[in-house]
């Protein structure tokens, strides 16, 4: 499906407006720390707050009120099939644990996607918005139009870094919520660490990938991410000239997602595979 320039503009405007509205809610209506209504999901460390759910309700209401024929896939459970050909992929807070602890690295992530069997999760992003209220930054991209960040400094086009040596690369990663997955992830990180400039774990996959897009780090990798964690940011990174993908030429997925410039990407992939990044977790908790 081809999306016209006018529709890309309308989708971008709506996604930015919705992300900002959710950001306002999350900043200004955050209850006292003890009253965040924290529940757990896949494990004791995988939290969802009442604010995740309120943010998702707001985003779902705004997007479906203005575009009732669009599909919807949200982290906190909202799901609907697309009639228009556009599907929204939404993370109402990416970096929930940071939000819980008042660390500023969290974001509202919204992607408008079209069906594409060859793309990650069968969905190809045409518009991506990652809004980080506590950083005062909104990253966005529309297919074929470049990637941008809006901050107090104004609107700036972003490009990834050109570092070509893995040994000089600053790399971000993330860890899943299940202890058995973390055993493998920790071993992979330990094997990679001596081969790179350094590792960071900022705590939001969407922002990690935007940081690659904006040239603030050289590369990112993680196992266990979902479409809503990375759909918007992957488009932003691609529009910033970066490669986002999985191992062996596959699209990015729950199995492994990597982002880096085209020269660094195969070096990172090689190092990660040699480090056992695809090792299945042992049956332990
Ligand atoms: C998580 C964050 C984190 C990443 C996890 C994600 P959530 O998303 O992006 O950085 O390591 O894989 O699940 O749970 O905060 O929306």
pLDDT tens digit sequence for 126-139: 999 999 999 999 99
Output the DSSP codes for 11-71: HHHHHHHHHHHHHHHHHHS---GGGS--EESSSTT-EE-HHHHHHHHHHHHHHHHH-TTSE
Closest by Cα among 165, 166, 192 to 256: 192
For residues 243 and 251, the answer to whether their CB atoms sit within 8 Å is: no
In this prediction, residue 77 carries a pLDDT of 80
pLDDT digits (tens, 9 = 90+) for 62-83: 999 999 999 999 987 878 899 9
| Whole-Å CA distances, 93 to 19, 20, 131, 132, 219 | 10, 12, 10, 10, 22
pLDDT at res. 80: 81
Quick: pLDDT tens for 214-265: 999 999 999 999 999 999 999 999 999 999 999 999 999 999 999 999 999 9
In the chain, % of residues over pLDDT 90: 88
Q: Kindly state the average pLDDT of the residues 94-110.
A: 96
Helices and strands counted in the chain (H then E) = 7, 15
Q: What is the pLDDT of residue 285?
A: 42
Residue environment code for 117-126, b if the CB has 16+ CB neighbours within 10 A, otherwise e: eebbbebbbb
With a 6 A CB cut-off, is 224 part of the ligand 1 pocket?
A: yes
* Residues 16-22, mean pLDDT to the nearest whole number: 98
The pLDDT score that the predictor gives to residue 76 is: 79
pLDDT of residue 92: 97
pLDDT tens for each residue of 140-194: 999 999 999 999 999 999 999 999 999 999 999 999 989 999 999 999 999 999 9
3-state secondary structure of 246: coil
pLDDT of 122 reads 95
If you average pLDDT over every residue of the chain, what do you get?
Answer: 95
DSSP H helices, 154-274, are: 179-192, 205-213, 227-239, 264-274
User: CB of 96 closer than 6 A to ligand 1?
Assistant: yes
Give yes or no for a contact between 235 and 125, defined as CB atoms under 8 angstroms apart: yes
Among residues 149, 191, 199, the alpha carbon closest in space to that of 170 is found at 199
As to burial, measured by CB atoms within 10 angstroms (0-12 exposed, 13-18 middle, 19+ buried), residue 30 is middle
Task: Give the predicted TM-score (pTM) of the model.
Answer: 0.96
95 in contact with ligand 1, CB cutoff 6 A:
yes
| Whether the predicted pLDDT of 45 surpasses 80 | no
Residue 196 and residue 163 in contact, taking contact as beta carbons nearer than 8 Å: no
pLDDT of 143: 98
- Region 36-43: mean pLDDT is 80
Q: Please say whether the beta carbons of 252 and 235 come within 8 A.
A: no
pLDDT for residue 283: 67
Three-state DSSP at 195 gives helix
Q: Alpha carbon of 134 to those of 46, 97, 157: distances in Å?
A: 22, 14, 21
Determine how β-strand 137-142 pairs with β-strand 47-48.
unpaired
Per-residue pLDDT at 35:
76
State mean pLDDT over 95-122: 96
Ligand 1 site, residue 91, Cβ cutoff 6 A: yes
Separation of CA 1 and ligand 1 centre (Å):
30
Please indicate whether residue 55, judged by its CB atom, sits closer than 6 Å to ligand 1.
no
Cα-to-centroid distance, 130 and ligand 1 (Å): 14
pLDDT at 215: 98
């Amino acid at each position: 499906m081809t999306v016209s320039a006018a529709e890309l503009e309308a989708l971008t405007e709506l996604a930015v407006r919705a992300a900002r509205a959710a950001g306002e809610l999350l900043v200004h209506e955050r209850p006292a720390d003890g009253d965040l209504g924290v529940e757990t999901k896949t494990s004791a460390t995988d939290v969802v707050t009442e604010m995740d759910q309120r943010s998702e309700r707001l985003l779902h209401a705004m997007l479906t009120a203005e575009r009732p024929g669009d599909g919807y896939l949200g982290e906190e459970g909202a799901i609907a099939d697309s009639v228009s050909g556009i599907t929204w992929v939404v993370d109402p807070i990416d970096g929930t644990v940071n939000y819980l602890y008042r660390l500023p690295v969290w974001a509202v992530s919204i992607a408008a996607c079209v069906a594409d069997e060859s793309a990650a999760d069968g969905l190809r992003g045409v518009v991506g918005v990652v809004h980080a209220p506590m950083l005062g930054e909104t990253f966005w991209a529309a297919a074929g139009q470049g990637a941008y960040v809006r901050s107090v400094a104004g609107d700036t086009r972003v490009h990834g870094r050109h570092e070509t040596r893995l040994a000089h690369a600053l790399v971000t990663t993330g860890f899943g919520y299940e202890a058995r997955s973390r055993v493998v992830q920790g071993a992979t990180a330990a094997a990679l660490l001596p081969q790179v400039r350094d590792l960071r774990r900022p705590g939001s996959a969407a922002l990690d990938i935007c940081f690659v897009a904006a040239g603030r780090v050289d590369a990112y990798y993680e196992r266990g991410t979902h479409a809503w964690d990375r759909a918007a940011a992957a488009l932003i990174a691609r529009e910033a000239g970066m490669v986002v993908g999985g191992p062996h030429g596959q699209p990015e997925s729950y199995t492994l997602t990597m982002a880096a410039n085209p020269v660094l990407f195969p070096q990172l992939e090689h190092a990660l595979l040699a480090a056992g990044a695809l090792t299945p977790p042992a049956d332990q908790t």
